[in-house]
Structure 1
Amino acid sequence: MLNTLLPILLFAALALAVLGAAKRFLMWRRGKPAQVDWIGGLLAMPRRYLVDLHHVVERDKYMSKTHVATAGGFVLAAVLAILVHGFGLHNRILGFALLAATVLMFVGALFVAKRRKNPPARLSKGPWNRLPKSLLMFSVSFFIATLPVAGILPADFGGWVLAVILAVGVAWGVSELFFGMTWGGPMKHAFAGALHLAWHRRAERFGGGRSSGLKALNLDDVSAPLGVEKPTDFTWNQLLGFDACVQCGKCEAMCPAFAAGQPLNPKKLIQDMVIGLAGGNDAKFAGSPYPGIPLGEHGGGPHQPIVVQGGKGLVEADTLWSCTTCRACVEECPMMIEHVDAIVDMRRHLTLEKGATPNKGAEVLDNLIATDNPGGFAPGGRLNWAADLNLALMSEKKEAEVLFWVGDGAFDMRNQRTLRAFVKVLKAADVDFAVLGLEERDSGDVARRLGDEATFQTLAKRNIATMSQYRFKKIVTCDPHSFHVLKNEYGALGGHYEVLHHSTYMEELISGQKLSLGQHKGGSVTYHDPCYLGRYNGEYEAPRSVLKAIGIEVKEMERSGFRSRCCGGGGGAPITDIPGKQRIPDMRMVDIKETGAELVAVGCPQCTAMLEGVVAPRPEIKDIAELVADVLLEAPAPAKKPAPTKPEALEVH
C-alpha cells in the first residue's frame, strides 16, 4: 500500500511545486527588465551558495552547522526519496543512503527546534514556528518508510495502519518542503534564494568581489520612471531578491535606526515589498513592526504606490528617510539582499517626482545647485582654511603625483583641523600634491543618497570635466564618502580614477619610510570604523596599521570592523532628521565608553561631527591625520635629486 501512496504523494507535490514555481516566476517578472546571465548564473549558483552565502552564514557557527545538516540532508533526502519511492528503485545501497540523509536532516531539524524553543526577538515567528515540526515529520516518515528498502525490516512491516500513518507524515512533510517552496511559506526562501543567487542584482559580489556603488539612473530616457513608486517599478531580479528573505532578522539586529527607535526595520521593509508584489496588508507579519507603527494598517498591491498617500500604502515616508545607508543590513544578510539599493530607489521617486525630501533636505539640495556645497557657503571661501599653507593648485601646476580632494569639510572649522594636519603629513613626506581649489565641487554623495540623482550627475560631470584637464596618478581624500563616490560611482559617468583614503595613503608613506614618526604619549585609544570606508570598501586594516605605527594599541569596541555601529551621519540622516527614542551617536558613544578609552580615533568628518555632538563628559575625538601630525619628527632635508632627463609618466585623467 505504501508503495502505491508514496509515488502519488511525491509526484503530486512536485507537480504543484512546478506550477507554483511558474506562478512565482511570472510574479517576479512583473518588475522592470534587468540584464542577467541566465545560464552562467545558474551554473555559478552552487558555488555562490556553498562559498559566498556560507561565508556569511558561518559567522554564526550554530546556524551554519544547523543549515548544513538540515539543508544538505533535505536536498539529498529529497532526491533519493524521488528515486527510491517515486520511481521505485528499491536498491539497498540507495536505501541506506536515504536513511543516512534523513538522519542528517533529523539532527539538523532538532537544532532548528532548539533554536525555535526560545527564539531571539529578531526571528519571525508565526508560520516559521511550524517549520521544525515539518522538517522532523519529513525526515522521520521517510526514515521509517525506507527501512524495508534497506532490508532492515520486512516489506510488509506494520501493515496498512502504519502505511496510512506514514503517508500522512509524508504528505505533511512534502507539502511544507515541496509545495511550500513555491506557493508561499517558510520554505519559499529556498527556491527564491537559489535563483536570487543565480541572477543577483550585483553578481560582482561573488567570488570575493565587492560592489557597493549605487547604480546610475538613465536621465536621458524621458519615458523611464525616476525612481521606484510601486513594486513593479523595481527590476524583476530585485523583486526576486526580496522574496528570498529568510526573515532571520540579522539585518534588524544590526540596524542603527531600528535600535534608536526610528520607524525603520529593514526586515519588515523587505517583507512589505513582498506583500506589495503579491497584494495584501501586513496584519499577518510575524516579526517586529516598525517602531511606533502598529501592524495591520498598511497594505498595497503590485501597481499601487509603496509610500503612504491619502492613508493608503505599504510604508510611511519616514521609514525610508530613517536609513543612514550604513549597509550593516546588507553586510549581515545571509541571503545577500540589497536593502540600501531599494531604499535609495524609493527615495529617488520621492525627491525627483514628488519634491518630498523632509526637513532640511530641500534646502540642502537647493544649496548644492546654487553654491556647489550643501551648507550654502560662498564657493569663494573653499580654500580659506589654507590661506597660510601655500598649497599648490592644479590649475597652476597642471600635473602632480597626488590630487588632494579636500571635500566639503573645507567649510567646517572642526574638519579644517584635520585637513591642515593631513597637509602637514603630506609636506613632511615630500609628496608632490596639489588641490583643485575653487574648481572643486561637492562630490555629490549627499545629493545621491537623498535621491537627487539629477544634481548628483550634474556635480559629478562637472568634477570629471575639471579633472580631465590635469594629470595625476591618484586622488587622496580624508572623507570616506567622497572616497567612495569618486572610486565607485564616478566610473559610470566616465570618471575612472585610483582613489585612496588618507589612512591607506599614510600607511603607504609609513611603510615606504617616507615619514619620521615619534610615539603617541596620550592615554588609551579606540578606533571607530566609518561605514563608507569599512563596509562599503573593505578597508579595516590601514587605519589600525597607522595607529600601531605611532605606538597606539587599539582597544577594540565590541562592535568594530564589519560590525561597527554607524555614527548616524550617513545617507543624509542628519539632514532628514527623523526622530526616534534615542540618538544613534549617543548609542555609539556608549560602545566607546565601554572600552574605557580616553580618545577616539576616527577617519571621517561625518563621524567626527556626530561623535563630537554627544554631550560631555566623553572621550576626545581625533582624526588619524591629527594623531600622525602630532608625532611627526623633524627629518633631515632630503638630498636634491638630479634633474631627470625626461619627465616621469603620469596617468592622464
Structure 2
Amino acid sequence: MLNVLLPLLLFAALSLAIIGAFRRIKLWRQGRPSKVDLLGGLLAMPRRYMVDLHHVVARDKYMANTHVATAGGFVLAALLAILVHGLGLHNRILGYALLFATALMFIGALFVFKRRLNPPARLSKGPWMRLPKSLLVFSASFFILTLPVAGLLPEGFGGWMLAAVLAVGVAWGVSEMFLGMTWGGPMKHAFAGALHLAWHRRAERFGGGRSTGLKPLNLNDRSAPLGVEKPKDFTWNQLLGFDACVQCGKCEAACPAFAAGQPLNPKKLIQDMVVGLAGGTDAQFAGSPYPGKPIGEHGGNPHQPIVNGLVDADTLWSCTTCRACVEECPMMIEHVDAIVDMRRFLTLEKGATPNNGAQVLDNLIATDNPGGFAPGGRMNWAADLSLDVMRDTPAVDVLFWVGDGAFDMRNQRTLRAFVKVLKAAGVNFAVLGLEERDSGDVARRLGDEATFQGLAKRNIQTLAQYRFNRIVTCDPHSFHVLKNEYGAFGGDYQVLHHSTFMAELIKAGLLDLKADTGGSMTYHDPCYLGRYNGEYEAPRTVLRALGIEVKEMQRSGFRSRCCGGGGGAPITDIPGKQRIPDMRMDDIRETGAERVAVGCPQCTAMLEGVVEPRPQIKDIAEWVADALIEPVTPAQPAKRLEPEVMA
C-alpha cells in the first residue's frame, strides 16, 4: 500500500508546492520593479546562506547548531525521500543516506521542541508552536519507512496498522514541509528566505561587505512615487524580504523604541507588511503587539494606504534608525529602509512630519541648519582659535567638517578640544567656515529627500572648489552621510571619524599624552559609527593609549543600545513608558564606571540630558585633549601627516 501511496503523496505535495510558489511570486511581483541579477543571485545564494546568514545565526550557538541539524537534515532528507520513496530507487546506500539525514533532522527537531516548551517572549507563538511536532513527525516517519530500504528491517513489517500510521505521519509532515513553504505557515521562510538572499536589494552586504546608506529617490522622475504609500509601492524584492521573516523576534529584543514602550515593534511591522501583501488584518498575529496598541485593529491590502490602515503614523516616527534590528536579523531584512520609505511619503506628499519636524525642515531650507540659527554665526565658537579656512588655503591634508554642533554650546567644547588635538599633532587642516552647510542627515531620516538632496548637492559643489586629502568630523551622522550617501550624487571622499584619526595620530607618535588617573571609564558606541560603519576598535584604541581600561557595558559593540538621538527621534518625540537615554544610563551604571566616553554630539546631548546623579560624560576628543602634555619650552615644528593632496 505504501509503495503506491508514498509517491502519490510526495508528488501531489510537490505539485501543489509549485503552484503555491507561482502564487507567492505573483504576490511579490505586485511591487515596483527592481534590477537584480537573477541567475547570478541564484548561483550566489548557497554561499550567502551558508556564510553570511550563518554568520549572524552563529551568534547564538544553540540555535546555530539546531538550525544546521534541522535545516540541513531536512534539505537532504527531502531530496533523498523523493529519490527513494517517490521514484522508487531502493538502493541500500541511498537508504543509509536517508536514514542519516532524517536522524540528523530529528535531533535538530528535538532541540527546536525543547526551545518551544518555554519560548522567550520575543518568539511568535501560534502556528510556530506546531512546527517542532511537524519536524519530528516528518523525520520519524521517513526514518521508519527507510529501514527496509537500508536492509535493516524486512519489507512489509508491522502490518497495515503501522502502514496507516506512517501514511498519516507522512501526509502531516509533507504538508507542513512542502506546502507550508509556498502556501503559508512557519516553513514559508525557507522558500521566501532563499530567494530573498538571492535577490536581496543590497547585494553588496554579502561576502563581508557593508551597505548602510539610504538609496536615493529619483526626484526628476515624475512617474516614480515619492516614498511608499501602499504595499505595492515597495519594490518587489522588498516585499519578498518581508515574506522571508522567520518571526524570531531578535529585532524586537534589540529595538530601543520597543523597550522604551513606544508604539514600535520591528517584527510586527514586517508582519504587517506581509498582511498588506496578501490582504487581511493583523488579528492572527501571534507575537508581541506594538506597545499600547491591541492586536486586531489594523488591516489592509496591496492597494490601500499603509498608514492608518496597516500601521499608525507614530509607529514609523518612533524609529531611531539605529539599525539594531537589521544587525540582529538572521534573514537580513532591511527594516530601516522600509520605515524611511514610508516616512518619505508622509513628509513629501502629506507634509505630516509630527511635532517639531516641520519647523526643523523649514529651518534647514531657510538657514542651512536645523536649529534655525543665523548662518553667519557658524564660526563664532572658533573666534579665538585662528583656524585656516579653505577659501584662503590652496590645499590641505585634512578638511575638518565641523557640523551643526557649531551652534551648540556643549558641542563647541568638543570641537575646541579636537582642534587642540589637531594643533598639538601639527596636522595641516582647515575648515569650510561659513561655506559649510548641514550635511542633510536629519532631513533624510525624517523623509525629506528633496531637502537632503539640495543640501548634499550644494555641499558637493562647494567641496569641488578645494583641494584636500580627506575629511575628518566629530559627528558620526555627518561622517556616515559624507562617506556613504554623497557618492550617489558625485561626492566621493575619504572620510574619517575623529576617533579613527586620533588613533592614527597616536600610532604615528604625533601626540604626547600623559597617563589618565581619573577613575574607571566605559565607552558608548554611537550607532552611526558602529553598526552603520563598523568602527568599534579605534575609540577603544585611543582610550587604551591614555592608560584607560574600558569597562564594557553588556550591550556594547554591534549590540550597543541606541542613545535615542538618531533618526530625528528627539524632533518627532513620540512618547513611551520611559526614555531611551535613561535606559542607556542604566546600562552605564551597571558597569560601575565613574566616567563615560562618547563619540557623537547626539549621544552627548542625550546622555547628559539624564537627571543627575550620573557619571561624568565627555567626548573622546575631550579626554585626549585633557591628557595632552603641554610643552614647557617652544616646541620644534611637529611632523605632519601630509599624504599627496587630491584634487
Tell me if both proteins adopt one fold, taking TM over 0.5 as the criterion.
yes
Hey, what's the Cα distance between the residues in 1 that align with 2:575 and 2:50? 41
Matched residue, 1:293: 293
Hey, what's the Cα distance between the residues in 2 that align with 1:495 and 1:506? 24
Shift of the alpha carbon at 1:87?
Answer: 0.4
Hey, what's the Cα distance between the residues in 2 that align with 1:342 and 1:474? 32
Q: Which one of the candidate residues 618, 624, 630 is aligned to 1:622? A: 618
Hey, what's the Cα distance between the residues in 1 that align with 2:637 and 2:12? 85
Hey, what's the Cα distance between the residues in 2 that align with 1:204 and 1:574? 31
Matched residue, 1:211: 211
1:395 aligns with 2:373: no
Matched residue, 1:350: 346
Matched residue, 2:238: 238
Q: Secondary structure at the match of 1:89?
A: coil
Shift of the alpha carbon at 1:633?
Answer: 1.1
Shift of the alpha carbon at 1:638?
Answer: 6.0
Shift of the alpha carbon at 1:165?
Answer: 1.2
Q: Is the 8 A contact 2:124 2:288 kept in 1?
A: yes
Q: What are the superposed Cα offsets for residues 220-260 of structure 1, whole Å, 9 maximum, x if unpaired? A: 00111100000000000000000000000000000000000
Q: Is the 8 A contact 2:397 2:643 kept in 1?
A: no
Shift of the alpha carbon at 1:634?
Answer: 2.9
In the alignment, residue 335 of structure 2 is paired with which amino acid?
A: H
Shift of the alpha carbon at 1:33?
Answer: 0.4
Matched residue, 2:307: 307
1:407 aligns with 2:403: yes
Shift of the alpha carbon at 1:89?
Answer: 0.2
Q: Is the 8 A contact 2:510 2:638 kept in 1?
A: no
1:44 aligns with 2:39: no
In the alignment, residue 522 of structure 2 is paired with which amino acid?
A: T
Shift of the alpha carbon at 1:642?
Answer: 12
Q: What are the superposed Cα offsets for residues 561-587 of structure 1, whole Å, 9 maximum, x if unpaired? A: 000000000000000000000000000
In the alignment, residue 489 of structure 1 is paired with which amino acid?
A: E
Q: Write out the 4+ residue segments of structure 1 that deviate beyond 4 Å after TM superposition.
A: 635-643
Q: What are the superposed Cα offsets for residues 173-201 of structure 1, whole Å, 9 maximum, x if unpaired? A: 00000000000000000000000000001
In the alignment, residue 99 of structure 2 is paired with which amino acid?
A: L
Matched residue, 1:370: 366
Matched residue, 1:267: 267
In the alignment, residue 646 of structure 2 is paired with which amino acid?
A: E
Hey, what's the Cα distance between the residues in 2 that align with 1:315 and 1:81? 43
User: Normalising to structure 2: TM-score of the pair?
Assistant: 0.99
Shift of the alpha carbon at 1:65?
Answer: 0.5
Matched residue, 1:383: 379
Q: Secondary structure at the match of 2:179?
A: helix
Q: Is the 8 A contact 2:468 2:646 kept in 1?
A: yes
In the alignment, residue 205 of structure 2 is paired with which amino acid?
A: R
Distance change in 2, residues 1:282/1:394 (3 Å): same
Matched residue, 1:162: 162
Matched residue, 1:497: 493
Shift of the alpha carbon at 1:637?
Answer: 5.7
Hey, what's the Cα distance between the residues in 1 that align with 2:492 and 2:190? 39
In the alignment, residue 106 of structure 1 is paired with which amino acid?
A: F
Count of paired positions: 645
1:90-489 alignment to 2 at 5 Å?
90-308=90-308, 313-489=309-485
Hey, what's the Cα distance between the residues in 1 that align with 2:395 and 2:489? 23
Shift of the alpha carbon at 1:523?
Answer: 1.1
Distance change in 2, residues 1:622/1:640 (3 Å): closer
Unaligned runs of 5+ in 1: none
Hey, what's the Cα distance between the residues in 2 that align with 1:642 and 1:500? 20
Shift of the alpha carbon at 1:648?
Answer: 7.3
Distance change in 2, residues 1:466/1:20 (3 Å): same
Shift of the alpha carbon at 1:163?
Answer: 1.5
Shift of the alpha carbon at 1:649?
Answer: 3.9
Shift of the alpha carbon at 1:639?
Answer: 4.8
Matched residue, 2:590: 594
In the alignment, residue 108 of structure 1 is paired with which amino acid?
A: G
Distance change in 2, residues 1:413/1:25 (3 Å): same
Hey, what's the Cα distance between the residues in 2 that align with 1:109 and 1:230? 39
User: Normalising to structure 1: TM-score of the pair?
Assistant: 0.98
In the alignment, residue 295 of structure 2 is paired with which amino acid?
A: L
Matched residue, 1:651: 646
Q: Secondary structure at the match of 2:185?
A: coil
Hey, what's the Cα distance between the residues in 2 that align with 1:649 and 1:87? 68
Shift of the alpha carbon at 1:593?
Answer: 0.3
Hey, what's the Cα distance between the residues in 1 that align with 2:639 and 2:385? 27
In the alignment, residue 479 of structure 2 is paired with which amino acid?
A: F
Shift of the alpha carbon at 1:160?
Answer: 2.1
Q: Percent same amino acid at aligned positions?
A: 82
Hey, what's the Cα distance between the residues in 2 that align with 1:425 and 1:212? 30
Hey, what's the Cα distance between the residues in 1 that align with 2:81 and 2:637? 80
Q: Is the 8 A contact 2:516 2:546 kept in 1?
A: yes
Matched residue, 1:19: 19
Unaligned runs of 5+ in 2: none
Hey, what's the Cα distance between the residues in 2 that align with 1:624 and 1:197? 39
Matched residue, 1:546: 542
Q: What are the superposed Cα offsets for residues 414-465 of structure 1, whole Å, 9 maximum, x if unpaired? A: 0000000000000000000000000000000000000000000000000000
In the alignment, residue 387 of structure 1 is paired with which amino acid?
A: A
1:77 aligns with 2:72: no
Shift of the alpha carbon at 1:608?
Answer: 0.1
Q: C-alpha root-mean-square deviation of aligned residues, in Å?
A: 1.2
Q: What are the superposed Cα offsets for residues 547-566 of structure 1, whole Å, 9 maximum, x if unpaired? A: 00011100000000000000
Shift of the alpha carbon at 1:159?
Answer: 2.1
Hey, what's the Cα distance between the residues in 2 that align with 1:55 and 1:180? 26
Q: Secondary structure at the match of 1:490?
A: helix
In the alignment, residue 650 of structure 1 is paired with which amino acid?
A: V
Matched residue, 2:576: 580
Shift of the alpha carbon at 1:202?
Answer: 0.4
Hey, what's the Cα distance between the residues in 2 that align with 1:205 and 1:337? 11
Q: Is the 8 A contact 2:553 2:590 kept in 1?
A: yes
Matched residue, 1:29: 29
Shift of the alpha carbon at 1:162?
Answer: 1.6
Hey, what's the Cα distance between the residues in 1 that align with 2:143 and 2:65? 21
